[in-house]
């Protein structure tokens, strides 16, 4: 999926390869997006943020046997499911970064999350934890070609 | 997070108003609690809080292992000089702590002995979180040169010398204790962990207040002293204490720097969490290693995703605030003798001592005498008001007498 991770033989090859992939993925995205209506995101996909072309929906997943509700648990690990959409439906962009910080306290999380592509514009982010009550800012970076879009969302943890 | 509220909101606000109308005598004019304060109060319970057996310890909740663990916890012959047991420092009469500034085993240590009540709920163990599970935190002191300086050979001899201990070991682990078994010490530590998991402190005056508010039983809530109610308000509000001291255990289980000096006399320094992360990742007994009995490794999330940061230097674990009346002195180096001293520390906080990138939540609170006394009264209400009961007797194990 990610053209940057291919072994590079020449610039021209890389460019051509990228175009081919982009065309293929756009077509695929259009088809799958239409087929299973992952986009635009449904309310069950969680909170929606839009920036430029990209619409991102995120929802917390509970990874802890104790937690039942759909709330982000305080000071416990949780995961996120992220759906990327654009005007064509499912976006072919990649979620390259997911993180969170407390701007007022000038610190981030004590954990470094990982991102796993699930296909169809969906990603799973593992290793999140809001370890303090207060205002957190979720920050996502989405890469389409060379362009990186940063999307943020404020969340109150209590 | 903030989704759930609205309906609760209204009833709680009404409750808050009622509470102080109904109980003017007990509550000498304390302000009412706001809806969000009431929600915070609720989040510090219920107590005891839910617990699931430790998937990483295959003898967690195993009766034979609990018996064995209890015996070994009080057993000085695990140590090199035959005189130091876990209970030497973790005294049941003092909330499983020793009352000393810093611990004394075979030699003098540099850190205060933490109490062990409710230890089963922790994510990280040790003031620096150098362990990610209870059994490896229990193995450390057995081997530590300064604490017990024990060995597999010594432990095997001890177990084989007692028919009861050998029987319980066999029942728990399905084989005889052998010094050549590389799992012997890990197994012993897992048994001691299984016993420590049974150490749970009883509900406190705060818990009864919190539960009464949940039940909307205003008469019962009014029994909670007015000073503690005022102290609770400072704890939740101006003090921002519950930002770190959150949830039923009054800790978020993570680390912070509150400006307690980390110098060790005469020239040393305690790197706190920074050293803990190093120790943890280097340990063969962490949850990423082969001794973790949880094949899914789901219990290793914290270690797997850990993000070391510069700010970890001088950070220490946010301790639980339950049972404080049993566990003086306070802080990682035991330098604060009383809860008064702790409150004075937060009240007169020396901001120059905090990391440049430290928690910006912490500001000197400049509490008045009366406010300080209220905050102390609240902290005291997080301990049982009667003498803590003796640890529960382990369940019976047939056939090991």
Interface predicted TM-score (ipTM): 0.85
Q: Mean pLDDT, to the nearest integer, of B185-198?
A: 98
Chain B environment of A113 (Cβ under 8 Å) = 305
Lowest mean pLDDT: which of A10-19, B196-205, B363-372? A10-19
Per-residue confidence (pLDDT) for residue B265, from 0 to 100? 73
Task: Answer yes or no: is A17 within a domain.
Answer: no
Q: Is B177 helix (H, G, I), strand (E, B) or coil?
A: coil
Residue B152 reports pLDDT greater than 60: yes
Task: Answer yes or no: is A103 within a domain.
Answer: yes
Residue B324 reports pLDDT greater than 60: yes
Residue B358 reports pLDDT greater than 90: no
The answer to whether B39 contacts A158, with C-beta atoms less than 8 Å apart, is yes
pTM here?
0.88
In A37-138, which residue ranges form alpha helices assigned H by DSSP? none
Task: Answer yes or no: is A2 within a domain.
Answer: no
The answer to whether A131 contacts B306, with C-beta atoms less than 8 Å apart, is no
The domain in which residue A76 lies consists of 39-157
In a 13 Å sphere around the CA of B347, the CA atoms on its Cβ side amount to: 18
The answer to whether B305 contacts A77, with C-beta atoms less than 8 Å apart, is yes
Among partner residues A65, A114, A157, which is closest to B1 by beta-carbon distance?
A157
> Cα separations (Å) of B22 from B36, B106, B207, B284?
21, 57, 20, 59
Sign of the dihedral defined by the CA atoms of residues B12, B13, B14, B19, in that order: positive
Burial, B355: exposed, middle or buried (Cβ in 10 Å; 0-12, 13-18, 19+)?
Answer: middle
Q: Mean pLDDT, to the nearest integer, of A111-138?
A: 95
CA B199 to centroid of chain Cα atoms: 11
Interface of A to B at Cβ within 8 Å reads: 63, 65-66, 69-72, 74-75, 77, 104-114, 126-127, 131-134, 155-158
Per-residue confidence (pLDDT) for residue B392, from 0 to 100? 76
CB A31 within 8 A of CB A90: no
Among partner residues B40, B305, B361, which is closest to A111 by beta-carbon distance?
B305
Q: Mean pLDDT, to the nearest integer, of B375-390?
A: 90
Residue B84 reports pLDDT greater than 80: yes
Using 50, 70 and 90 to split pLDDT, how confident is the model at A3?
A: very low
CA distance A92 to chain B (A): 27
Task: Answer yes or no: is A34 within a domain.
Answer: no
Give me the torsion for CA of B88, B89, B91, B97, rounded to 10°. Answer: 170
Degrees, nearest 5: CA angle B308-B310-B315: 85
Residue B190 reports pLDDT greater than 90: yes
Chain A environment of B243 (Cβ under 8 Å) = 132-134
Per-residue confidence (pLDDT) for residue A70, from 0 to 100? 65
In B179-225, which residue ranges form alpha helices assigned H by DSSP? 184-196, 205-215, 218-221
How many whole angstroms separate alpha carbon A44 and alpha carbon A37?
13
The token pair at B332 is 């990682």
CA distance A125 to chain B (A): 11
Q: Which helix (H) or strand (E) holds A84?
A: strand A77-86
Q: Is A117 helix (H, G, I), strand (E, B) or coil?
A: strand
Residue B1 reports pLDDT greater than 80: no
The answer to whether A131 contacts B254, with C-beta atoms less than 8 Å apart, is yes
CB B59 within 8 A of CB B188: no
In B48-126, which residue ranges form alpha helices assigned H by DSSP? 63-73, 86-89
Chain A environment of B44 (Cβ under 8 Å) = none
Residue A67 reports pLDDT greater than 70: no
How many whole angstroms separate alpha carbon B327 and alpha carbon B249?
15
How many whole angstroms separate alpha carbon B180 and alpha carbon B106?
26
Radius of gyration of chain B (CA): 22
Task: Answer yes or no: is A19 within a domain.
Answer: no
Best of B252, B317, B354, B357 to mutate (most A CBs within 10 Å, chain A): B252
How many whole angstroms separate alpha carbon B401 and alpha carbon B395?
13
Residue B354 reports pLDDT greater than 90: no
Among partner residues B36, B307, B361, which is closest to A112 by beta-carbon distance?
B307
Per-residue confidence (pLDDT) for residue B362, from 0 to 100? 86
What b/e string do you get for A60-80 counting C-beta neighbours within 10 Å, with b at 16 or more?
bbbbeeebeeebbbbbbbbbb
The token pair at B167 is 């029987």
CA distance B383 to chain A (A): 23
In chain A, how many domains are there? Answer: 1
CA distance B123 to chain A (A): 10
Using 50, 70 and 90 to split pLDDT, how confident is the model at B4?
A: very low
Using 50, 70 and 90 to split pLDDT, how confident is the model at B353?
A: confident
CA distance B360 to chain A (A): 5
Residue of A nearest to B247 (CA): A74
Task: Answer yes or no: is A32 within a domain.
Answer: no
* CATH number of A70's domain: 2.60.40.1930
Residue A122 reports pLDDT greater than 80: yes
Task: Answer yes or no: is A90 within a domain.
Answer: yes
Per-residue confidence (pLDDT) for residue A65, from 0 to 100? 67
Degrees, nearest 5: CA angle B360-B361-B366: 115
* pLDDT, greater one: B106 or B284: B284
Sign of the dihedral defined by the CA atoms of residues A106, A111, A112, A117, in that order: negative
Best of B305, B317, B355 to mutate (most A CBs within 10 Å, chain A): B305
The answer to whether A71 contacts B361, with C-beta atoms less than 8 Å apart, is no
Task: Answer yes or no: is A59 within a domain.
Answer: yes
Least Cα distance to A139 among A152, A129, A128, A127 occurs for A152
CB B305 within 8 A of CB B287: no
């Amino acid at each position: 999926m990610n053209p940057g991770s291919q072994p590079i033989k020449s610039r021209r090859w890389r460019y051509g390869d990228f175009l081919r992939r982009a065309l293929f993925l756009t077509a695929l995205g259009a088809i799958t997006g239409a087929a299973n209506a992952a986009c635009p995101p449904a309310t069950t996909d969680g909170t929606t943020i839009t920036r430029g072309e990209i619409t991102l929906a995120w929802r917390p997943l509970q990874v802890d046997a104790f937690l039942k509700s759909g709330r982000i648990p305080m000071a416990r690990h949780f995961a996120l499911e992220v759906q990327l959409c654009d005007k064509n439906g499912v976006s072919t962009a990649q979620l390259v970064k997911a993180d969170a910080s407390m701007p007022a306290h000038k610190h981030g999380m004590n954990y470094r999350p990982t991102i796993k592509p699930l296909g169809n514009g969906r990603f799973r982010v593992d290793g999140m934890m809001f370890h303090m009550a207060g205002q957190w800012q979720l920050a996502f970076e989405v890469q389409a070609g060379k362009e990186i879009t940063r999307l943020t969302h404020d969340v109150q943890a209590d | 997070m903030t989704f759930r509220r609205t309906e609760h909101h209204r009833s709680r606000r009404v409750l808050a108003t009622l509470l102080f109308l109904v109980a003017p005598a007990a509550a000498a004019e304390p302000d009412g609690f706001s809806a969000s304060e009431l929600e915070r109060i609720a989040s510090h319970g219920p107590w005891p809080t839910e617990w699931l057996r430790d998937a990483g310890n295959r003898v967690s909740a195993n009766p034979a292992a609990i018996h064995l663990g209890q015996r070994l916890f009080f057993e000085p012959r695990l140590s090199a000089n035959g005189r130091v047991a876990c209970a030497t420092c973790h005294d049941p009469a003092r909330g499983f702590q020793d009352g000393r500034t810093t611990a004394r085993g075979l030699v003098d240590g540099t850190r205060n002995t933490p109490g062990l009540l409710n230890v089963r709920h922790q994510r990280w163990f040790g003031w620096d979180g150098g362990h990610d599970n209870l059994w490896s935190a229990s193995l450390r002191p057995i081997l530590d040169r300064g604490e017990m300086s024990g060995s597999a050979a010594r432990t095997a001899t001890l177990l084989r010398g007692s028919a009861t201990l050998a029987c319980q070991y066999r029942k728990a682990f399905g084989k005889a204790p052998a010094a050549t078994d590389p799992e012997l010490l890990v197994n012993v530590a897992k048994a001691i962990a299984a016993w420590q998991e049974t150490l749970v402190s009883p509900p406190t005056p705060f818990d009864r207040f919190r539960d009464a508010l949940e039940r909307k039983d205003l008469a019962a809530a009014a029994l909670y002293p007015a000073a503690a109610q005022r102290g609770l308000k400072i704890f939740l509000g101006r003090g921002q204490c519950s930002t770190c001291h959150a949830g039923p255990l009054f800790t978020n289980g993570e680390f912070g720097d509150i400006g307690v000096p980390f110098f060790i006399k005469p020239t040393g320094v305690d790197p706190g969490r920074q050293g803990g992360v190093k120790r943890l990742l280097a340990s063969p007994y962490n949850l990423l290693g082969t001794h973790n009995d949880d094949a899914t490794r789901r219990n290793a999330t914290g270690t797997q995703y850990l993000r070391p940061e510069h700010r970890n230097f001088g950070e220490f674990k946010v301790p639980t605030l339950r049972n404080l009346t049993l566990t003086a002195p306070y802080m990682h180096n035991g330098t604060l003798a009383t809860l008064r001293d702790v409150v004075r520390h937060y009240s007169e906080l020396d901001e120059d001592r905090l990391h440049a990138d430290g928690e910006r939540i912490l500001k000197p609170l400049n509490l008045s005498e009366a406010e300080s006394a209220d905050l102390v009264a609240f902290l005291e209400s997080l301990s049982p008001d009667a003498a803590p009961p003796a640890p529960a007797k382990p369940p019976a194990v047939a056939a090991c007498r």
